[in-house]
Structure 1
Amino acid sequence: MKRLLLYVHFNKYNRVSSHVYYQLTKMRPLFSKVVFISNSSISDQDYHKLVELRLMDQFIQRENIGFDFAAWRDGMTEIGFETLDSYDSITIMNDTCFGPLWDIKEHYLKYETDENVDFLGVNK
């Protein structure tokens, strides 16, 4: 399964918080490509850490105009809609949630194989 993660980040202190590293560490194995879209600046140290840990394949820096939805739009536009069509699934996610609290791979596999599921939202 070829999966894409568009991950939106914002931090008013221009940092990448520890829970973001945790999330991406847990989510990364599920995805063929991770695009980290930051609506705030991040330090060179955080950028290099994300690269060294292989938690992202592409980085997009943008102004926080339009918030998450505009960031996902900009990410899709930069990747290109023809390229997006080559993925089996696209996950849009932001850093305002914590977790995953369990192994989320089984959750993905369960719903990916269900032909009646076109859209999945996870919240509690």
Structure 2
Amino acid sequence: PVTHAVPDTWQSVNSSPATNGSPEGMESLRGILSLDQSVSVTEVWTPMIESDLHSIAAWEINTSNSPNFAPLTSFFMAIGLSPIVFDVPQGTWNEAEFNDFQTGYVLDEEQNLALAILRLP
């Protein structure tokens, strides 16, 4: 097994407008959400600020057509617990691709971090 030391806090950093292309690491999650037009990105949320940013993108979330996330629903129900459900808020879905990882995160309308996902190699 591969072990990764991942910081437990996320930080907002200014994004560089000179990034190339569109991020590719979170395409499967992007496909689940109902996204509208792309929007400009002025900051990026990341747990590891030392890495170089390659590409960033963001889209408005269409909450009327986006599903709720309910990870491990079957497992929780099988052991008699209520499942955890995340209602996608109105806001933006953001993606950033760095040297060694990708991030995908939801910012609500007030630009608060509502959900963050880190994808390691």
TM superposition score category, shorter chain reference: under 0.3
* Larger Cα-atom Rg: 2
More strand by share: 2
* Bigger relative contact order, structure 1 or 2 (CA pairs below 8 A, ≥6 apart): 1
